Amino acid sequence: MSDVDLRSLTDDDAKLIEAAWAEHGVLFFRDQPLTPEQHIAFAERFAPIDVNKFFRPVDGHPKIAQVLKEADQITNIGGGWHTDHSYDQIPARGSILLAQEVPPSGGDTLFMSVAAAYDALDDELKERLVGLEARHSNEHVFGTGGKAQESYGDRLNNPEQTGGAVHPVVVAHPTTGRKLLYVNAAFTLGIVGLDQAESDALLHRLYEHMVTPEFSYQFQWEPGSIAMWDNRSTWHWALNDYQGHRRLMHRITVQGEALSPAA
């Protein structure tokens, strides 16, 4: 969105942004030099803040998570397609990510619409998904010995606070009612009631379909850029193509509501 200053929104402006967020899944803003206090105030216009248990917070601002890769670090946070917080029984509504330092090139983020991906499924597969539920967990990622704890070191905290949840495979967006494919390769473990081989085959088929380029968009960051995404209706992937350079982002996540199966 252009010609908007997120530091001085009217209530009507905020309502327009909220409606666009629900409709489109992700919004982008340029040239928004928000202080941490302004970042928090903007996020709290939409919902209370969901403080992430695992990301190291910004000093003095526990509501803001630090998403950091130093120049000498190899692994980035958020590499690979995923959606945040699907492992919570009441998943977070979405996140507002503010670029502080970006590399001279690279470090873009891909966003993908799980609503568009669902719409493009054939009728037979849509029918197969009716009534199915999936198990989600973060233990294999953020838990002790998990791949993130091994890769990210002291950039993450609290491996003992992992957990899991069960959600419908196809959910209704809480605001628009649009049908969404609510599974992802990072945190979905399997389909309830299917043996592992059948579950893996079905999820692989869905993931192969969902990563079709027509459903995604690549966003190039600049200092002061903001991406505001809906965790229910999008996936995202932070590209790790800037070795030898520092990238620092401030992320605020806001609370959502329990998800219901699509009618």
* Active-site annotation, residues: 82, 84, 236, 251
- Per the CB < 8 A criterion, the answer to whether 236 and 96 are in contact is no
Burial class of 100 by CB neighbour count within 10 A (0 to 12, 13 to 18, 19+): middle
> What would the two tokens of residue 246 be?
């520092």
Name the DSSP class of 18: H
